[in-house]
A and B are shown apart, each in its own frame.
Chain A
Amino acid sequence: MTAGQLPRWVDYGLMPALNVAAAFLVSGLVVLLIGENPVEAVKVLVWGSLGWNEGIGFTLFYATNFIFTGLAVAIAFHAGLFNIGGEGQAYLGGLGVALACLALDRYVPWWVTLPFAVAGAAAFGAAWAFIPAILQAKRGSHVVITTIMFNFIAASLMVYLLVNLLSKRGSMQPETRTFESGGRLPLLQDVLPGTNFGSAPVNFSFLLALAACLLVWVIVWRTRLGYEIRTFGANPVAAVYAGISPLRITVVTMLMSGGLAGMMAINEIMGSQHRLLIEFVSGYGFVGIAVALMGRAHPVGIVFAAILFGMLYQGGAELAFEMPAITRDMIVVIQGLVILFAGALEHMFRPALLRIFGVLAARPAPAA
């Protein structure tokens, strides 16, 4: 162990755990500030999200969204790109899903519609990431700024489409007609025998999300493309010398990232809402950043982080019900704190840990 380095388990285990613990500690202080008991709040939260079948179902339903948006942010991280536009890409992905469902739902069963819906979600999400990608690669426009701008452009575009073109005839609601059975995914409890999630909307897309995790793992760590992505992310200059095209890697990675973000809409639109409606993304794209940070941009970590955030969403809803002073906005606060401590302040504990482990490592030295 050289100076300034920590053991791997500290780097990948202890430090993230400390960061998340700090985030939850501050969240507890916020609960105290409102005048409720933090320990009680945690009990309600955990029971609400894991204590009963329907709670688990809701937790997994939310986790499905987070897995997709988390993977989207993570794969871009590996190429050194920060895709902050998951929100807009997922919104557009919803359009792709809805078009496929609206076209097919009356004629074919759901498993025929699904591939088209997946293709639609991925293609529309990827398309929305394509322009920022190409501008970054060719013109050097910072992808963070352009993807933020594209989130807002997506919001305006979708409102326009839903209000003027896609809404039901004679209805003032900015939403499409409800899909027939050919445009609805089966619930998870109907697919996996022996499971029971009550009336929770967790559906077939949860399995799709797990498959996406596997796919991302294979692409990033087991293919030549993934090697090139990681090389480019680690050192763009060296990557160019190694014959890796920055243009190709930037565009391909952002397309995959946008496609994954778009896939979120499968769960929300085809799995639960069964119609395209306004603002269905409602922050899932942004939370993907927290999920990717907490999961250290690795699919396994992302699944765990997604389930934790799913618990927060579901448990937070129960909490708002049990303790009316704590509204669902508490979840947003916790997310903010997790992003702050696990993301922006990720190195806060490093100097202290370095000192502790420096002392521990130095101690056996005189004996040797």
Chain B
Amino acid sequence: MFETLIFVLDSTARLSTPLLLAALAGLYSERSGVFDIGLEGKMLGAAFAAGTAAALSGSAWIGLAAGIVISVALALVHGFACITNRGNQIVSGVAINFLAIGLTALLGQAWFGQGGRTPSVSGGGRFGELTLPLAESLRDVPVIGLIYYELVSGHNILVYVAFLAVPFSWWVLYRTRFGLRLRAVGENPGAVDTAGISVTWLRYRAVICTGILCGIAGTYLSIGQSASFIANMTAGKGFIALAALIFAKWKPVPVMFACLLFGFLDAVAIRLQGQQVPGIGEVPVQAIQALPYILTVVLLAGFIGKAVPPRAGGVAYVKERS
């Protein structure tokens, strides 16, 4: 029983990682007042770029760099549309998702001819599992040994990056000048502008942060968790991340718990597939899969606390009206 729990929690950590990175990515953009439903597309683009670059170069780090570059490029397209041209942020996000789904599948097939897959990578082309110090020797210690060996150790480096990004994001948002201004520009861009700070440049920096984190998330999917890119491999993870971000009311530490919860639901859903639960019978997997979305709607409805988005979110800033 205890072992099962550890295994479920272990896969929770793995499944939460891409959600966590993407949700933190969305946090930067949305706290600065730029809504982003294109997290999915940026992750997908990054996953493809990472898979391709890692396959060609044989280095996971070059894959990571390529993933980040493509994701930031897509984020800048979003920024150019929404910040510079004051376009609709939702429409722009939809466009980026379409572009990423289409381009990754199209280029993947044209370049590699494997139905949209990139060639499999192994060894240095992937982020392999790290064994933390003492994990092997502590393995036989009851309880703690198993927790340390299975749960804490044995993940690839991006998993640790994701969880370290939580305190780091908290520090950036709440303890730095950049973070203060970023939060301010999401609430009242007029005030920030009056203080002589460029709203445009601030928001661009925020969407670049989003691009970087989405890039890591996508890289994790293609060359961390798997060994190659597969067409549409994000499969809605960007939207679950968005749900987690809302569920966490746009705050970094709650974002981690929301992602862990949604990752846990995913892990449980895989585990329960076709199994009988005593007293309930067979739990439909689809019900558990839909749970993150249902929970988010319930939260949005204001039945469990109230999710208040950044006040200036979704609105382009107009400095002067001519």
Residues of A whose CB lies within 8 Å of any CB of B are 3-4, 30, 33-35, 82, 84, 131, 135, 139-142, 144-146, 148-150, 152-153, 156-157, 159-160, 164, 286, 289, 293, 325-327, 329-337, 339-340, 343-348
Contacts and interface: CB of A to CB of B under 8 A. Distances in A.
List 10 tightest A-B contacts by C-beta distance, closest first: A336-B98, A332-B102, A344-B92, A333-B102, A336-B99, A156-B290, A340-B95, A344-B87, A141-B300, A343-B91
B105 interface: yes
A330 B106 contact: yes
A156 B301 contact: no
Nearest to A293: B91
Contacts of A346: 87
Contacts of B80: 345
Given A142-B300, A160-B287, A148 B91 contact: no
A339 B300 contact: no
Contacts, number: 148
B81 to A, nearest CB: 4
Interface of B: 37, 77, 80-82, 85-92, 94-103, 105-107, 109-110, 116, 236, 239, 242-243, 246, 284, 286-287, 289-290, 293-294, 296-297, 300-302, 307, 309, 322
A346 to B, nearest CB: 7
Chain B contact residues: helix, strand, loop or mixed: helix
Contacts of B246: 145
Given A142-B300, A148-B37, A148-B239, A34 B95 contact: no
Nearest to A164: B284
Contacts of B89: 344
A327 B90 CA distance: 27
Nearest to A340: B95
B301 A135 contact: yes
B95 A343 contact: yes
Given A135-B301, A148-B37, A293-B91, 10 more contacts: A139-B300, A141-B301, A146-B300, A149-B300, A332-B101, A335-B98, A335-B102, A336-B95, A336-B100, A344-B95
Given A286-B94, A337-B99, A343-B92, A152 B106 contact: no
6 contacts: A135-B300, A152-B293, A160-B284, A293-B91, A336-B100, A345-B85
Contacts of B91: 289, 293, 339, 343-344
Given A152-B290, A160-B287, A336 B96 contact: yes
Contacts of B294: 149, 153
Nearest to A82: B90
Given A34-B106, A34-B110, A335-B102, A139 B87 contact: no
A33 B242 CA distance: 33
B82 A344 contact: yes
Contacts of B102: 329-336
